Amino acid sequence: MPNLVVIGTQWGDEGKGKIVDLLAERADAVVRFQGGNNAGHTMVVNQEQFISHLLPSGILQGKTCYIGNGVVVDPQVLLEEIDFFQSKGIEISPQKLSISERAHLILPHHKIIDHGREALKGKAKIGTTGRGIGPCYEDKAARRGIRFVELCDPELFAKAINEVLIEKNHYIEHYLKMEPCDVTAIIREYQDYGNRLKPYVTNVSVALSHKIRNHQNILFEGAQGTHLDIDHGTYPFVTSSNTVSGNACNGSGVGPKDLDHVLGIVKAYTTRVGQGPFPTELLDEIGDRIQKKGAEFGATTGRRRRCGWLDLVLIENAARLNGLTCFAITKLDVLTGLETINICTGYEYNGTPIEGFPGNLNILAACKPIYETLPGWSEDLTNIRNYEELPLNPRDYLERIETITGISIHIVSVGPGREQTIIKKHPFL
């Protein structure tokens, strides 16, 4: 049975939650492998909306969910999320949810530092989600992070937090000019989290290897998007983890030969939250219209998402970086009602077409998109379930994407609901 990685191809919020929830029906396990509660993944089932920040989007389908070693976990947020889903009647037990003992903890000082640094940067800020993601990964790389291993052992935790706060409190108080952390209060608070979460903590790599040996379907759920990747994205306007498919291995403890397919989620237009260059951004009434019709507000921070035309330079970049084997196009319904629709097929810099996606942000910011203009459509697509029923113009739009990129579209999403989906080819069938 195949294993599948689902990846955002743009700057996040492509509709990963919806597609993972849908595909999870036929999966045996769903795994988060990077990021943290900077993610906001929306699932809509029977008109009820659920947003998960840390729990994998297989939770509503009752699948076994794993939080891999590559995820940074704020235990308070995780417990709130567990309580929320349980209050909705969804079973979350150690049989249904496992957390890697090696996953790093987001601690109070990470959130303080995230906010403090952004405030100091003023206009030059990244526009982070303020969830402490960057400072936590930074400590992981500096080998002073604290993991679930320590959370589950009060003595280890107390020793580690005491050590780390000597430096952090100095930085917070004297550099950021903010209130330092109270170590005793943190130890008390985190002991409580440790007691509650300990039953869920395990070696996720070993657990997944059993599933792989038993030929079960595993779905790896990416967070953020390819162009927020710390190495391959629009650095420094990126998140602090690798968001590309290769990190499904590192972030969960499986080998690369166990990944079979990589599905790239492509929103039918482009959005971005936070700062950073965005060549196809629409700062006009069409951008406003897409923003309103697509309800483009951040699922984590509620910020208004910047909107623009579909950028195939990004998508081709994502195809190469992730080894994409197929696409799911989401939010096609949002483009209904536009007279014409632009697709960016390349960039021009200083009046000359350039190859690929520039690493130099000053060049990227100065790039002008080269557009191909296609006719729009006025038909409501939200009730269409078969590809053949799609009107000609949206089909032409999709087929143009396939022709230019050379990658087949297997899924088309025409509304937020789980059922508002056209499945041309199911990855688990």
Q: Which is nearer to ligand IMO, 64 or 129 (CB)?
A: 129
Q: Which is nearer to ligand IMO, 150 or 311 (CB)?
A: 311
From the list ligand IMO, ligand GDP, Mg ion, none, pick the one residue 145 interacts with, judged by a Cβ distance below 5 to 8 Å according to partner type. none
Q: Which of 3, 6, 7, 8 binds ligand IMO (CB under 6 A)?
A: 8
Q: Which of 186, 201, 228, 335 binds ligand IMO (CB under 6 A)?
A: 228
From the list ligand GDP, ligand IMO, Mg ion, none, pick the one residue 126 interacts with, judged by a Cβ distance below 5 to 8 Å according to partner type. ligand IMO
Of residues 5-24, which lie at the interface with Mg ion (CB under 5 A)? Answer: 13
Is residue 38 at the binding interface for ligand IMO, with CB under 6 A as the rule?
yes
**Does 28 qualify as catalytic in the annotation?**
no
Residues that bind ligand GDP (CB under 6 A): 8, 12-18, 40-42, 44, 295, 299, 330-331, 333-334, 413-416
Is residue 13 at the binding interface for ligand IMO, with CB under 6 A as the rule?
yes
CB 1 → ligand GDP: shortest distance, Å?
24
CB 41 → Mg ion: shortest distance, Å?
6
Is residue 240 at the binding interface for ligand IMO, with CB under 6 A as the rule?
yes
**Does 21 qualify as catalytic in the annotation?**
no
Q: Which is nearer to Mg ion, 139 or 296 (CB)?
A: 296
Q: Which of 41, 53, 104, 410 is catalytic?
A: 41
Of residues 242-301, which lie at the interface with ligand IMO (CB under 6 A)? Answer: 273-274, 299
Of residues 268-307, which lie at the interface with Mg ion (CB under 5 A)? Answer: 299
Is residue 75 at the binding interface for ligand IMO, with CB under 6 A as the rule?
no
The span of 37-45, 76-84, 162-170, 364-372 binding ligand IMO (CB under 6 A) equals: 37-45
Q: Which residue has the tokens 């990658």?
A: 407
- Which of 157, 131, 129 lies closest to 145, judged by CA? 157
Per-residue contact track with ligand IMO, 186 to 225, x per CB under 6 A? -------------------------------------xxx
CB 24 → ligand GDP: shortest distance, Å?
13
Three state DSSP letters for the chain:
CCCEEEEECCCCCCCHHHHHHHHHCCCCEEEECCCCCCCCEEEEECCEEEEECCCCCCHHHCCEEEECCCCEECHHHHHHHHHHHHHCCCCCCCCCEEEECCCEECCHHHHHHHHHHHHHHHHHCCCCCCCCHHHHHHHHHCCCCCEHHHHCCHHHHHHHHHHHHHHHHHHHHHHCCCCCCCHHHHHHHHHHHHHHHHHHEECHHHHHHHHHHCCCCEEEECCCCHHHCCCCCCCCCCCCCCCCCCHHHHCCCCCHHHCCEEEEEEECCEEECCCCCCCCECCCHHHHHHHHHCCCECCCCCCECEEECEEHHHHHHHHHHHCCCEEEEECHHHHCCCCEEEEEEEEEECCEEECCCCCCHHHHHHCEEEEEEEECCCCCCCCCCCHHHCCHHHHHHHHHHHHHHCCCEEEEECCCECCCEEECCCCCC
Q: Which of 6, 54, 133, 319 binds ligand IMO (CB under 6 A)?
A: 133
Q: Which of 13, 21, 139, 333 is catalytic?
A: 13
Longest Cα–Cα distance in the chain: 65
Q: Which of 8, 36, 40, 70 binds Mg ion (CB under 5 A)?
A: 40
How do 421-423 and 409-413 pair as beta strands?
antiparallel
Catalytic residues: 13, 41
- The residues of the shown chain that bind ligand IMO, judged by CB under 6 A, are 8, 11-13, 38-41, 126-129, 131, 133-134, 223-225, 228, 239-240, 273-274, 299
